[in-house]
Structure 1
């Protein structure tokens, strides 16, 4: 497939963008920049240039032509088939990355520390996350480290939050889908694998300027509900869930098709990020969290 065809397909998919007028403006920006996308460009170079032009309209960091190191099957347009491929890809990566939970340990003062790098769906990484939460049981405080979290599933966000409340469901976040004009609500679960950590355990969430998407949602929900203290840096600011369409073995369009909506304020963190309660450089956030909890 020539680069011009890849660009044409990208422009076509912008019709699905959650804000139609912004999608049209992004399509115009990419079309006007065709001279930059010569066939001499390698896929990674093309992805970087097209992404730059896509994001020039409103800064939506979810809107990308994304390069993938692994060669992946092209999207078929059949949802079940494409979802099956996506599941296989995510399951392989999750298995290589400890289910997105690379570190769980006890710190001084009987504080539990759980690092989360990616919130894969519970059907993929539920056992890994449940194991981490089980190991945190009995601690006198919990630190959730999202400083390297690049995103993930809102279902996994709800799964993690469920451990931090009780069996009575709590509404976390809503997502509005443009295509169906419907809103899906996300609530904590009335049952969790293993023991509850409960609503009284002190919780600190660590954030950085890298924290993105699903990681931001987890921080946002716990902050809005007054369930955690956030320490670190303001996050990247991506609140638009995406569809991923593989249009070349190494290139896929990530197209925002929905937007997060707080059931309490109607807002979200798109473009602004989640602002922590205590702002410190990311590399100082853990020490500050330990001091906060021990105090």
Structure 2
């Protein structure tokens, strides 16, 4: 049994939708025994099955486990023999399906690794963002991250990737190319590329720890108005500091208002959503969470906002979890006008655990609510100004994301028109609430774990 106890001391993080948090050590308690339980050897695939069972038993938000006899489920699972991790993974997935919660799910090692790098905002790579031309299957550089090996080597947007370590990319999927570029810190990767004005060239780069940019921004001047546009792609562990720098830089350029773009943002860390809300809100409640024991936590602005200038937030149906927390808090406290379409509707909190073989497990542990207390699960946040893009407009912005936040972006144009007519923050319609618990650095994240949110088509490597 000592081996089992050791195997249950794992790294874990909490999520409200589906990205990984910065990981903290967490020791799982063994369940109360209602009957003698089978011994599990640590190196046996069965150990991973039991790790899953223990975590769900201790944390799943529904204490009746969706009317599943969870103790009996353990006996069933451990009565089987698993010849390989693949068989164990299949059994885990089937057991989790019985819980009736799409956000409680198993992550094999490769998916768990991607999730970790996305939410921590760091990875070991060369700092290049790739995309694939679906018509030709050719892989291109979309961006070289600032101060990365890729930027120092002079890689540019539009460079076509021909070979990685001698292997032709024509035979690779985008995911395979990304996997080939990432690797252990300090190791090297050789790239053969092609550039229109330069022809074919070769670079060899050493992998470094890369901070993934979550925030991009620019200043726009229109008819005497200076508007700061900020695009937040994900609530990673570095998102707050990047947002702070963006606001401070734009503030020095004397903007008259801001557009905060959360469209397509799948979420991320809960503490990032709270901290970013605090950069915009001087006062008011941000979010509350209720766990399986009925514990009610409230998180509030703390007087550390950087600006009270007018703000418009852009959202769409792919704005989920942490994005919904931020948009809901800003809308219901009257701090911003929300423009776009109804958000995804993800109102639950997950805990993400690193299992002993490098795989991961996301478990729903709580539900969250905007300041009004409304249940947004499967409903989403409704914008103040509903503006849906046509299919043609959506296709255009998707094929060329650089058009977002420009004159070619109808939702952005509506945001600019709103800012032109407003010189003061809008009034506060939210119902005041008593002060709740102070913020504690919970390792919680708020991102939908559905594979749609992996955004494998465009990530830094």
Contact residue 351 and residue 365 of structure 2 kept, 8 A = yes
Tell me if structure 2 keeps the 8 A contact 1:47–1:66. no
What is the aligned partner in structure 1 of residue 377 from structure 2? 270
**Shift of residue 214, structure 1, vs aligned partner:** 0.8
Aligned positions of 1:241-256 closer than 5 A = 241-247=349-355, 249-256=357-364
- Aligned-pair distance for 1:244? 0.8
Which has a greater percent of helix?
A: 1
Alpha-carbon offset, residue 246 of structure 1:
1.9
Structure 1 residue 104, shift from structure 2 partner: 0.7
Map of 1:83 onto structure 2: none
Q: Does the 8 Å CA contact 1:26/1:54 hold for their aligned counterparts?
A: no
Quick one: structure 1 residues 54 and 117, their matched pair in 2 at CA, closer, same or farther if it must change by over 3 Å? Answer: farther
Q: Secondary structure at the match of 2:299?
A: strand
Question: Residue 295 of structure 2 aligns with which residue?
Answer: 182
Aligned pair count reads 259
Alignment partners' CA distance in 2, 1:219 and 1:71:
28
Measure, in 1, the Cα distance between the counterparts of 2:317 and 2:62. Answer: 25
Contact map agreement 1:54 1:63 (CA 8 A) in 2: no
> Structure 2: which 5+ runs fail to align?
1-42, 124-208, 398-409, 422-461
Partner in structure 2 of residue 230 of structure 1: 338
Counterpart-to-counterpart distance in 2, 1:26 and 1:217: 34
Q: 2:107 aligns with which of 63, 66, 72?
A: 66
Within 5 Å, give how 1:121-200 maps onto structure 2: 121=237, 124-137=238-251, 138-166=254-282, 169-178=283-292, 181-191=294-304, 196-198=306-308
**Cα shift at 1:205:** 1.2
Partner SS for 2:247: helix
Match of 1:10 among 31, 34, 52: 52
Q: Structure 1 stretches of 5 or more lacking a match?
A: 73-85
Write the distance in 1 (CA, Å) between the matches of 2:230 and 2:69: 39
Going from structure 1 to structure 2, the CA distance change for 1:95 and 1:174 (only over 3 Å counts) comes to: farther
For 2:63, the equivalent position in structure 1 comes to 20
Instruction: Please state how far the C-alpha of 1:113 moved relative to its aligned partner.
Output: 0.9
TM-score in terms of structure 1 length = 0.71
1:288: which partner in 2? 414
1:96 equivalent to 2:138? Answer no
Post-superposition Cα deviations, 1:86-132, rounded to whole Å, max 9, x if no partner, equal 7997152494322x21x1111243111111112234xx443222101
Distance in 2 (alpha carbons) for counterparts of 1:21 and 1:128: 42
Task: Provide the rounded CA distance (Å) in 2 between the counterparts of 1:285 and 1:64.
Answer: 35
Cα-Cα RMSD:
3.7
Structure 2 CA distance, aligned partners of 1:89 and 1:222?
A: 23
The higher radius of gyration belongs to 2
Cα distance change of structure 1 residues 136 and 67 upon mapping to structure 2, 3 Å threshold: farther
Query: In 1, are the aligned partners of 2:263 and 2:318 still within 8 Å (CA)?
Result: yes
TM-superposition CA deviations, 1:239-261 (whole Å, max 9, x none): 22221112254531111112113
**Which range moves more in the overlay, 270-279 or 10-19?**
10-19
Q: Secondary structure at the match of 2:268?
A: coil
Give the match for residue 79 of structure 1. none
TM-score (norm 2): 0.48
Paired with 2:325 and 2:281, the residues of 1 have a C-alpha distance of 16
Whether the aligned pair in 1 keeps the contact of 2:107 and 2:361 (CA below 8 Å) is: yes
8 Å Cα contact 1:177/1:257 also seen in 2: yes
- Three-state SS of the structure 2 residue aligned to 1:163 is helix
Deviation at 1:41, TM superposition (A): 8.9
Distance in 2, Cα, partners of 1:178 & 1:135: 42
